[in-house]
Each structure stands twice: as structure tokens, then as C-alpha cells.
Amino acid sequence: MARLPLAACVAVAFHLFLLASSSSATTGAGRDGRTAYHFQPAKNWQNGPMYYNGLYHFFYQYNPHGALWDIGNLSWGHSVSGDLINWASLENGLDPTAPFDINGCWSGSATILPDGTPVILYTGIDANKSQVQNVAFPKNPGDPLLREWVKPEYNPVIPLPADVPGDNFRDPSTAWLGRDGQWRVAVSAEVSGVASTLIFRSSNSNSTAGDDDYHQFPFRSWERNPAPLHSSKASGMVECPDLFPVKVKGKDGLDTSANGFGVKHVLKLSVMDTLQDYYMVGEYDDTTDKLVAAEPERGDDVRRWRRLDYGHVYASKSFFDARRNRRVLWAWANESDSQADDVARGWSGVQTVPRKVWLDKDGKQLRQWPIQEVESLRRTLVGVRKTVLGAGAMNEIVGVGGSQVDVEVSFKIQSLDAAELLNANEMLDPQQLCGQKGASVPGGIGPFGLIVMASGDLHEHTAVFFRVFHYNSTYKLLMCTDLTRSSTKAGVYKPPYGGFVDIDVEEHKKIKLRTLIDHSVVESFGAGGRAVITARVYPEHTATNSSHLFVFNNGTDAVRVSKLRAWELAPASVNIADNGLILSKILKQQSES
């Protein structure tokens, strides 16, 4: 196979600054699977993002006392960035200090008011161990870092309703303004035993004046809509509701309050029972606060909605990035090895790369793609042009280190004649199908894809691949990430992940795959971001050896690789090395912009 190492290419086209790219030694990347460019705090446990006055802020669930989730000790960690890639950590944004949050500051969201003032709504665990919704304001909105937050005494602004149990009322969404001038916020609640997404409205919505007079502030009083936005008996408790508008045409994002012609809405919910995120697209009417699904046949059971990611993510959240006019979504990817490993490492959990999200032309599914700033980390490029992969082919991509890589590949299917037949039962569980028909089970069209994080002897490897099936006189494209051989370590969760990609294969015979590899994270975007699979991997060979990367085909039909490019990625500065230096660069850049 052709090897074509090109000169290191550093992106300069974007409005961003390259921070001192610290070496792995100073970032700790690679050690125990610590990532090099995914967001994670310096240490300990983590779980709403916002763009304000030239800077990105990220708040996260943080346990200052240990690596595990500790019900009584959750604070809001706070980091800032100029580019969503390099982060400096600040003091905690919120700590449990008041009667309305003394037992923990749980999830919430930031909202930017029309005059530019940010407001936080969050769940506090009060002195009675009940979940209540609180508000917090920046002490000094002129401070670009928004270091200090004030929690007014009149909290909670939304006390526990009488028909909701104290342990199931949480996660206020970003608020949005209806055309009637009232703000709305969505909150997850169990109402008389039914998982519901409640809407609360606030009319004292105008913005601030005095520094100390919090009575003037918005979001002080809220009234509950009689009907929930959504409820389902079947799916069990849901969390982290996110309702956001998307354009019917184009990839640009919309501010959370946008509505009207050419706008649809997405409701995303996180289901505790399955620990997965699901979404549906619909028409949201802000006079009645009703959402009418574009695919009513999927029903109310959230578990039948579309999956945001077929892999290992939960509690995703999006925000409107006014700087680049896009909607950015992040999700949390927890560890898949044991809690004892988390404690030994001293941290657990990472965020996925920030993803731009938009509505596909079909009006039903979201597309997701790593934000363009990720490309600023691209260094050595290896390219391959027009290769044919015959049955059983497995070609190494040499020249990029195997554990910090961004690889994009386009596969071209020649004909669909050899597609394997699928029966109705096999259709039901794509994840199981990925296990039964793994990379080492030869097929007709596929499996073809990438082998990543592979040891030299291939005892450890992770396969990311596609396979085409024939079902009920149409064609189905399956995308899988198979972890069953990802690690020889004991106690690691190593499932096959997968889902059907919603694409007309007869029309799109070219199938693109982009995979971001970052030590313990393998994040793959199939068919232009129509299907995404995030996986956590813990290979043992990385302690002593480097990892290998391959492109392969195990189908009887040859597959053309029309393009393959792989970049080694530089580490980003994420919350640990040179925090002060990074902070001063971020501030300097912010004041110049």
C-alpha cells in the first residue's frame, strides 16, 4: 500500500491561537489511558457549556474530594477556553453552601439573557435532601472569566412540587423565550410515577439593573404548565432534557429561543434505565408548549427514539455558539473499567469532542461532526489515494503514532449484489448483530473499516466497520465498533456497539468514516455524522509498545478506498499543565478580540 507522509500541516485559517502544545509528558496523556485532547478535569470525577463575551465556559459536575461520584459532595467545576480545545481551570463555580443546595450542586444549564447577562439554573439537594431548582448570577458580569457566582437567598426558585418525589426532580435546561415574552425551562420529574419533562414559565423575565438588588433579576418566580412537554410510563426516569431549535435547511445553528418558519425542534432525553441518550425531531408550538413528533410511529417510549450515539455516552448537552453561528453538543463518556481503577487513576470520565449538530435534509435525523477547531491539532499527515481492498485485505497506515490520530476514509462499494440476507429478528438488535458478525466473520459487502489501537501481535485491537445487508427488498448499512478484543485487561466492559445508519445505500455507494483516537477514547462518525459511536478502550500494550492502525476489508466483494487521510494529533492543554500561562493567553486573546 502506498505510503505518503506529507509535511506537518498546521491549520492557520481559523481565528484561533495555538497554545504551547505541551508534550505528553507534561499533560500526562497516555498514562493509564488519560486522553490528550478530550476534555477532562485535572483529577476527580466529572459529568452546561456556554459562550459568553468571547470565551467558552464549561461547567461540570465535580467531586473535589475523590474520583467517584459522591452524592453529598458535588460542586460545579469551571473551565474556560478560547477555542473549545485548550482549557484552563478556574475555582469552582458553585459549591454546596446554602440550605437550598447544602447536600450537593447537581446538573443544570446556563442561559444568556437578551442583554447578554448569563444566568445559571441548577438542581440543589436541599437540607431535607430534596431536589429543588436554584438560580445563580455572576457577581461581576464584567469579569470575562465569570469567576464568582452569587446564589440569591430567595432560592429555590422552583421548589419541589407536591406530586413529585424529592429524589426525582432535576436538570433544568437552558431557558428559552416564547413569543409571548415568557421564559420557559424544561425540568425532568417523576410525576405520580410517570417520567415527565415539565415546563415552567417565568414572566418576570426582564433583565438586571442593580448589583445587589436581586429582586430585579429574572427567573425569580416560575409557574408550572399543567401538561408536561413529554411523558412516558414505559421508559422510566429521564434526565438532562435538552430542547433546541434546528434549521430545516443548512448547517447553521440557532439561538435556543428561535422559532418560526424553517425551524424544527429537537428534544433530547437521557434514560437512566439504559444510560443512553435519545432524541426526536418535531414541531414545537410555543403558544401551547406542545411538540409534535416528525416520526409519531416511534411513540412516547423514549427508548424507541433515535440514538444520539450508539456507544458509551450519556447526559449530553448542547449550546448555541454565537461566535461561529453553530450548535455545539457535548456528551459525557464515563469509564468502562472498574471503580477501583478509577480510584487508582485519580479521575474518571471525559467529555466527547465538541460536535457541531444540525438537521439532516430528511427532517428526521441529526448529523454530528467534530468542531473544526479539532483540526488545529493536526500535525503529521499520511495520505493514501485510490486503493482497492480485496477480500481479506488488511493494510497498515504507517507514519502516524497510533494513539492520537484523526483518520478520515472514504469507501466506495461497487455493487450491492453480494449483500447478505438479513431476517426480521436480526434487524431488531443491531448491537447483537455487530457481535455475531464481527470484523473476523467474512461477509459479502463488508465488514470493511478500520482496526485501531492494535498491538503489534493484534491480540489487542478495536474494529470500527460497516457491513451492508439485504432486507425486505432494501439495503441496510450497519456500523459497528467492536471492543471484544480491545484489551486483555480483566474487569473491562468490552461490548460490541452498533446501529443501522439511516442512509439510502443504493444512492450513496460512497461511505465515509472519520475516527478520532485518543488513548482510551475511540470516537467514530459514520456516513457524514449520521451515526456516531463513542467507545472507551483500555489496551495494555500501550504501557510498553505503540499502537497500530489498519484499513481492512473482510467481505468477498472488493471495496475501493477513494481517499484516506490520517493525521497525528498534538495534545491540547486541558486543565493541567501550565494552567496560569494558558489562562493569561486566553485572557489576552479575549481582550484583543
Ligand X SMILES: *[C@@H]1O[C@H](CO)[C@@H](O)[C@H](O)[C@H]1NC(C)=O
Q: Report the nearest approach of ligand X to the CB of residue 11 (Å).
A: 32
Among 11, 92, 99, 237, binds ligand X (CB under 6 A): 99
| Site map (CB under 6 A) of ligand X, residues 250-269, x = contact | --------------------
For residue 5, the one-letter residue type is: P
Q: State the binding string over 342-361 for ligand X (x if CB under 6 A, else -).
A: x-----x-------------
At 263, list the grid cell. Answer: 425551524
**Total site size for ligand X, rule CB under 6 A:** 32
Contacts of 532 (CB under 8 A, 6+ apart): 308, 309, 310, 311, 355, 368, 523, 524, 525, 526
Q: Which of residues 324-343 bind ligand X (CB under 6 A)?
A: 334-335, 339, 342
Shortest separation between residue 74's beta carbon and ligand X, angstroms: 10
Q: Is 381 helix (H, G, I), strand (E, B) or coil?
A: strand
Residue ranges in 452-491 that form contacts with ligand X under rule CB under 6 A: 455-457, 472
Give the shortest CB-585-to-ligand X separation in angstroms. 34
CB of 489 to ligand X, least distance (A): 12
Give 54 or 399: the residue with its C-beta nearer to ligand X.
Answer: 399
The DSSP code for 74 is -
Closer to ligand X by Cβ: residue 174 or 348: 348
Nearer to ligand X, 98 or 566 (CB): 98
* Contact (CB, 8 A) for 124 and 155: yes
CB of 459 to ligand X, least distance (A): 6
Q: What does the alpha-carbon distance between residue 307 and residue 318 come to, in Å, rounded to a whole number?
A: 15
Q: Is 386 in the site for ligand X (CB under 6 A)?
A: no
423 contacts ligand X (rule: CB under 6 A): no
Secondary element (H or E) of residue 588: helix 579-592
Close Cβ partners of 307 (under 8 Å, ≥ 6 residues apart) = 276, 277, 278, 499
- Candidates 31, 65, 233, 361; binder of ligand X (CB under 6 A) is 65
Q: Cα angle vertex 478, ends 502, 435, to 5°? A: 145
Closest distance of CB 465 from ligand X, Å: 8
3-state secondary structure of 557: coil
Which of 9, 127, 227, 343 is in the footprint of ligand X by CB under 6 A? Answer: 127
The residue type of 323 is R
Sole window of 107-115, 163-171, 437-445, 555-563 interacting with ligand X (rule: CB under 6 A): 437-445
CB of 575 to ligand X, least distance (A): 20
404 binds ligand X (CB under 6 A): no
Contact flag: residue 554 with ligand X (CB under 6 A): yes
Answer for which of 227, 275, 344, 388 binds ligand X (CB under 6 A) is 275
Among residues 484 and 579, whose Cβ is nearest to ligand X? 484
Identity of the residue, 140 or 339, whose beta carbon is nearer to ligand X in the bound complex: 339
Compute the residue count for the chain: 593
Q: How far is residue 385's CA from residue 563's CA, in Å, rounded to a whole number?
A: 5
Give the nearest distance from C-beta 72 to ligand X in angstroms: 2
- Cα separation, 28 vs 49, in Å, equals 25
Nearer to ligand X, 181 or 580 (CB): 181
Q: Is 312 in the site for ligand X (CB under 6 A)?
A: yes
CB 305 within 8 A of CB 280: yes
Q: How far apart are CA 459 and CA 531, in angstroms?
A: 28
| DSSP letter for each residue of 145-180 | T---EE--TT--SBPPPTTS-TTSEE-----EE-TT
Compute the least distance from the CB of residue 520 to ligand X, in Å: 13
Measured from the CB atom, the residue of 339 and 593 that comes closer to ligand X is 339
b/e burial code for range 446-457 (CB count within 10 A of at least 16 → b): bbbbbbbbbbee
Spell out, one character per residue from 70 to 89, where the chain touches ligand X: x when CB under 6 A holds, - when not: x-xx----------------
- 162 vs 424, beta carbon nearer ligand X: 424
Q: For residue 273, what are the contacts with CB-CB under 8 A and spacing of at least 6? A: 235, 236, 237, 303
- List the one residue out of 71, 96, 98, 239 whose CA is nearest residue 156: 98
Residue 386: count of CB within 10 angstroms of its CB: 11
- 580, with CB counted inside 10 A (0-12, 13-18, 19+), is exposed
Closest of 246, 329, 274, 293 to residue 525, by C-alpha: 329
Among 182, 208, 545, 579, binds ligand X (CB under 6 A): 545
- Contact between 166 and ligand X by CB under 6 A: the answer reads no
424 binds ligand X (CB under 6 A): yes
Q: Considering only residues 23, 97, 440, 593, which one is a binding residue for ligand X as defined by CB under 6 A?
A: 440
Q: Considering the complex, state which of residue 545 and residue 590 has its C-beta at the smaller distance from ligand X.
A: 545
Number of separate helices (H) and strands (E) present in the chain: 5, 40
Query: Based on CB atoms, which residue is closest to ligand X, 289 or 426?
Result: 426
What is the C-alpha to C-alpha distance for residues 51 and 354, in angstroms, rounded to an integer?
Answer: 13
- Residues making contact with ligand X (CB under 6 A): 65, 70, 72-73, 99, 126-128, 204, 206, 275, 312, 334-335, 339, 342, 348, 392, 394, 424, 439-440, 442, 451, 455-457, 472, 541, 545, 552, 554
